[in-house]
Amino acid sequence: MTEPLTDSEIALLNGVLDLARYGPPNELLLMIDAGVPVNLTSASGDTLLMLAAYYKQTETVRALLQRGADTGRINDRGQTALGAAVFRQDGDAVTALLAAGADPAQGSKSALDIARFFDLPDMLALLE
């Protein structure tokens, strides 16, 4: 049986998630290089990659991809990192995610669905 996390461990992990959101990327990358899982996931299924994409942390997105972040993870709302980048209209992150193999049709709220629903023709062009 696994021991429950302590309050300080939970605070540390929440801090890692915040680094994906707000940076700086080098602090997050030091933690990953020291052993924090690159696919660390929040309670709602958001990965570091999803958070970085949603908060337009393009440099962090690229660095996480270089460290093997999974582009195929889907959060509890059916969203992917690619969908987050499309929603935020971050063409550089979209391009990096596509180059890393992200599937525009993946998820119940796919990147393609998001581009169409929010009428984002520039994003749709990148995806197609």
Mean pLDDT of 56-70: 97
Query: In this structure, which amino acid lies at residue 109?
Result: K
**Contacts for 109-113: CB closer than 8 Å, 24+ residues apart:** 109/77, 109/78, 109/79, 109/83, 110/80, 110/83, 111/80, 111/82, 111/83, 111/85, 111/86, 113/83
What's the confidence (pLDDT) of residue 9? Answer: 87
Model pLDDT for residues 85-115, shown as the tens digit of each residue: 999 999 999 999 999 999 999 999 999 999 9
The reported pTM is 0.94
Query: What CATH number was assigned to the domain covering residues 7-127?
Result: 1.25.40.20
Handedness of CA 112, 118, 119, 123 (dihedral sign): negative
Q: What is the mean pLDDT of residues 27-40?
A: 95
Residue pair 86/115 in contact by the 8 Å Cβ criterion: yes
Q: Flag whether pLDDT at 1 surpasses 80.
A: no
**pLDDT for res 24:** 87
Average pLDDT over residues 45-50: 98
